[in-house]
């Protein structure tokens, strides 16, 4: 898995590619934590290149969402979520916790 972070005017975009499992989820967690440590609470998570998410990845996403939502205008939004991963989020009951966008441009525009 590869994780990159990009600073934009309105928010930060975190992009991940590959599988996010128990071995790679700590990289994702650290990318999210690095942003929140620097007081950045508007985050777009571009999942268009993600092939698989484990419970460790879901935990990282939920923890980040909780941290972001503690701020008045903070939020973690999801962009380009593959259908298979959306189904996983649906089965686990996590869909109501996030806003979903077709692509990164729409997600950034939501801020």
Q: Is residue 35 part of a domain?
A: yes
What is the structure's pLDDT at 35? Answer: 97
- Residue-number span of the structural domain to which 37 is assigned: 2-106
Q: Is residue 102 part of a domain?
A: yes
pLDDT tens digits, residue range 95-110? 999 999 999 999 999 9
Q: Is residue 60 part of a domain?
A: yes
- Asked if 65 and 33 count as a contact pair (C-beta separation under 8 A), the reply is no
Dist. CA 17–CA 41, nearest whole Å: 22
For the domain that residue 74 is a member of, what is the CATH number? Answer: 3.30.750.24
pLDDT tens digits, residue range 20-79? 999 999 999 999 999 999 999 999 999 999 999 999 999 999 999 999 999 988 999 999
Q: Is residue 18 part of a domain?
A: yes
Q: Is residue 65 part of a domain?
A: yes
Q: Is residue 51 part of a domain?
A: yes
Q: Is residue 111 part of a domain?
A: no
What is the structure's pLDDT at 72? Answer: 84
* Mean of all residue pLDDT scores within the chain: 96
Domain count, the chain: 1
What is the structure's pLDDT at 12? Answer: 98
- Asked if 65 and 98 count as a contact pair (C-beta separation under 8 A), the reply is yes
Q: Is residue 59 part of a domain?
A: yes
Write the CA distances from 2 to 17, 25, 58, 96, integer angstroms. 5, 10, 17, 27
């Amino acid at each position: 898995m590869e994780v990159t972070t990009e600073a934009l005017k309105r928010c930060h975009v975190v992009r991940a590619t590959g599988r996010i499992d128990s071995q790679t989820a700590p990289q994702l967690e650290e990318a999210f934590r690095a942003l929140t440590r620097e007081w950045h609470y508007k985050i777009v998570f571009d999942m268009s290149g993600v092939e698989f998410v484990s419970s460790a990845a879901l935990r990282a996403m939920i923890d980040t969402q909780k941290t972001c939502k503690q701020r008045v205008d903070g939020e973690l939004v999801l962009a380009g979520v593959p259908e298979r991963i959306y189904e996983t989020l649906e089965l686990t009951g996590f869909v109501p916790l996030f806003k979903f966008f077709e692509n990164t441009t729409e997600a950034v525009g939501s801020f």
